[in-house]
């Protein structure tokens, strides 16, 4: 699939040339074969496979300690996410486990999760901090996220989620926490080169509009773009605030007004839909996809991989849920994990479509038509991945049916 007007940007009988880490040429297969022979360039024949841009998971909390399986059991017995959060559980219990975890163990568990995402064709992952909520632990989370991209053939974008929950030690000093998190800590982490963007959980159980704005303003002063967790449980006007600061994305958006959708479209802020969290929290009001469409807002889809509300390491499953639960078309969902996900990370010039000059990140699937990437529940049709021009080791790139000589 390449950028273009055909459904899914589909292009049949195509070939693609890679030079270094970039896509150098896209054209017809016959022409490619002739050029390759003339220039003695090695050729891989992928007959019958579908190629997509490398998938992009643009919203994850991939680095964390422990898990929240007990909380899951409680929720199934009728205790709500809000009740658990207000009783000091939820995000704060992961904060405790994350603060207690050594970098090595955070790296080991995040590596496992990243590997699962990558096995489906994911080549770029956004990773948020936000379970440290003190400088040292936030730094450790971001360093682990950076380390992931050094150890694995995947790109990582780091997001400093400075305002995720109020930590226990600041229950009586809220303003001090917000001031530190948006001030000295952000500055220190940004100066250390650990922050690609910032994020805040703007919600009645988390941070107010004014507190969120304090972080967004500080980020703006440092030249950093933002994401905002907006409208997950209530509509506090967080989407409008994200738009006011030209945030890269506003995420969740189950509670969003027509005005909010229009504001996102006008500011070019991507609406990131997170059906995993919606599903796990057994919510019943999907994001207003028709309003977003009508407004012309770009929609992305991500796993929101986190221990509390979305222990999901399958972006393809998130695509299925975006279609089944939110009513996206498979074409919209796939754009949401490629083109629009790239834009949600500010990387649209570099990633998200198969175009000459962009990074050679792509995935190969053994499917008959692209909608199958959304249709299957729990199957993984990915048979090969190329990241920055390099074939991922261990990828079963040539399945039996397209081995040389097979029909
Ligand atoms: O995106 N909403 C806030 N943050 C996460 C949940 C994190 C957690 O419960 O640990 C989310 O759903
Ligand atoms: Fe999240």
Ligand 1 centroid to 310 CA: how many Å?
A: 8
Q: What is the pLDDT of residue 149?
A: 97
To the nearest 5 percent, what fractions of the chain are helix, strand and coil?
A: 40, 20, 40
Q: With 90 as the cut, is the pLDDT of residue 390 above it?
A: yes
Global pTM reads 0.95
Average pLDDT over residues 117-135: 98
Average pLDDT over residues 273-289: 97
Q: Considering only CA atoms, which of 205, 285, 208 is closest in space to residue 253? A: 285
Out of 58-67, 281-290, 356-365, 387-396, pick the least confident: 387-396
Atom number, ligand 1, closest to the C-alpha of residue 85: 9
Residues with CB under 5 A from ligand 2 (ion): 304
Q: What is the pLDDT of residue 375?
A: 97
Atom number, ligand 1, closest to the C-alpha of residue 310: 12
Ligand 1 centroid to 213 CA: how many Å?
A: 19
Query: From its phi and psi, is residue 75 left (phi > 0), alpha (psi between -120 and 50) or beta?
Result: alpha
Pairing of strands 155-163, 197-202: parallel
For the chain, the average pLDDT equals: 94
- Name the closest ligand to CA 311: 1
Ligand 2 centroid to 227 CA: how many Å?
A: 10
Q: With 60 as the cut, is the pLDDT of residue 186 above it?
A: yes
Ligand 1 centroid to 258 CA: how many Å?
A: 24
Q: With 60 as the cut, is the pLDDT of residue 405 above it?
A: no
pLDDT over 90, % of the chain: 86
Q: Tokens 């904060």 appear where?
A: 95
DSSP codes joined into one string, 129-187: --S--SHHHHHHHHHHHHHHHHHSSSEEEEEEEEES---GGGTT-HHHHHHHHHTHHHH
Mutate to test the pocket of ligand 1, among 58, 61, 96 (most ligand atoms within 8 A of CB): 61
Tell me the C-alpha distance between 53 and 385, whole Å. Answer: 10
Atom number, ligand 1, closest to the C-alpha of residue 251: 1
Mutate to test the pocket of ligand 1, among 309, 311, 312, 318 (most ligand atoms within 8 A of CB): 309
Instruction: Take atom 3 of ligand 1 and give the residue whose Cα is closest.
Output: 201
Q: With 60 as the cut, is the pLDDT of residue 397 above it?
A: no
Tell me the C-alpha distance between 54 and 208, whole Å. Answer: 36
Measured N-to-C along each axis, helices 184-191 and 209-221 cross at an angle, to the nearest 10 degrees, of 40
The partner residues of 16 in beta bridges, in order of sequence, read 26
CA 242, chain centre distance (Å):
17
- The residues near 52 (Cβ < 8 Å, ≥ 6 apart) are 1, 121, 334, 338, 354, 362, 363, 365, 370, 373
Q: What is the pLDDT of residue 86?
A: 83
Q: Considering only CA atoms, which of 62, 65, 67 is closest in space to residue 125? A: 62
Out of 84-88, 130-134, 138-142, pick the least confident: 84-88
The dihedrals phi and psi of 273, each to the nearest 5 degrees, come to -95, 135
**Predicted confidence (pLDDT) per residue in 206-260, tens digit:** 999 999 999 999 999 999 999 999 999 999 999 999 999 999 999 999 999 999 9
Q: Considering only CA atoms, which of 45, 15, 51 is closest in space to residue 373? A: 51
- Return the half-sphere exposure (C-beta side, CA atoms, 13 A cut-off) of residue 95: 23
Q: With 60 as the cut, is the pLDDT of residue 398 above it?
A: no
The dihedrals phi and psi of 57, each to the nearest 5 degrees, come to -95, 100
Sheet of 197-202, strands arranged across = 55-57, 122-128, 155-163, 197-202, 225-230, 249-252, 270-273, 299-301
Tell me the C-alpha distance between 326 and 274, whole Å. Answer: 10
Banded model confidence at residue 88, pLDDT cuts 50, 70, 90: confident
Residue 233 contacts residue 82 (beta carbons within 8 Å): yes
Tell me the C-alpha distance between 165 and 85, whole Å. Answer: 9
Neighbours of 73 (CB within 10 A): 10
Mutate to test the pocket of ligand 1, among 166, 277, 305 (most ligand atoms within 8 A of CB): 277
């Amino acid at each position: 699939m390449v950028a273009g007007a055909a459904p899914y940007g589909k292009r049949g009988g195509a070939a693609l040339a890679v030079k270094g880490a970039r896509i150098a040429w896209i054209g017809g297969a016959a022409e490619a074969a002739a050029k390759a022979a003339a220039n003695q360039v090695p050729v891989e024949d992928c007959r019958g496979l579908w190629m997509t841009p490398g998938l992009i998971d643009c919203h994850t909390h991939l680095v964390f300690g422990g898990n929240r399986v007990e909380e899951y059991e409680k929720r199934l017995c009728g205790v709500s996410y809000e009740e658990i959060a207000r009783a000091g559980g939820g995000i704060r219990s992961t904060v405790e486990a994350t603060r207690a975890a050594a970098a090595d163990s955070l790296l080991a568990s995040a590596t496992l999760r990243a590997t699962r995402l990558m096995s489906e064709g994911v080549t770029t992952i956004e990773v948020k901090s936000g379970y440290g909520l003190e400088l040292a632990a936030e730094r450790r989370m971001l360093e682990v996220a950076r380390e992931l991209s050094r150890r694995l053939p995947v790109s990582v974008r780091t997001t400093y989620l400075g305002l995720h929950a109020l930590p226990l030690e600041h229950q009586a000093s809220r303003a001090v926490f917000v001031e530190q998190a948006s001030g000295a800590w952000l500055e220190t982490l940004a100066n250390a080169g650990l922050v690609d963007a910032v994020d805040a959980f703007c919600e009645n159980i988390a941070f107010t509009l004014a507190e969120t704005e304090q972080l967004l303003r500080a980020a703006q002063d440092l030249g950093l773009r933002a994401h905002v967790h907006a409208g997950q449980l209530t509509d506090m006007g967080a989407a409008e605030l994200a738009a006011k600061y030209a945030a890269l994305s506003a995420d969740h958006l189950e509670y969003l007004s027509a005005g909010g959708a229009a504001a996102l479209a006008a500011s070019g802020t991507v609406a990131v839909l997170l059906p995993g969290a919606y599903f796990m929290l057994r919510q019943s009001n999907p994001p207003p996809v028709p309003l977003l469409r009508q407004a012309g807002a770009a929609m992305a889809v991500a796993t929101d991989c986190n221990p509390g509300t979305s222990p999901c390491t399958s972006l393809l499953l998130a695509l299925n849920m975006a279609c089944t639960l939110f009513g996206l078309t498979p074409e919209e969902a796939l754009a949401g994990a490629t083109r629009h996900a790239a834009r949600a990370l500010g990387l649209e010039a570099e990633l998200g479509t198969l175009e000459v000059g962009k990074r050679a990140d792509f995935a190969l699937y053994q499917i008959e038509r692209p909608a199958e990437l959304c249709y299957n529940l729990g199957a993984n049709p990915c048979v090969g991945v190329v990241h920055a021009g390099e074939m991922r080791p261990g990828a079963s790139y040539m399945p039996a049916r397209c081995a040389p000589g097979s029909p």
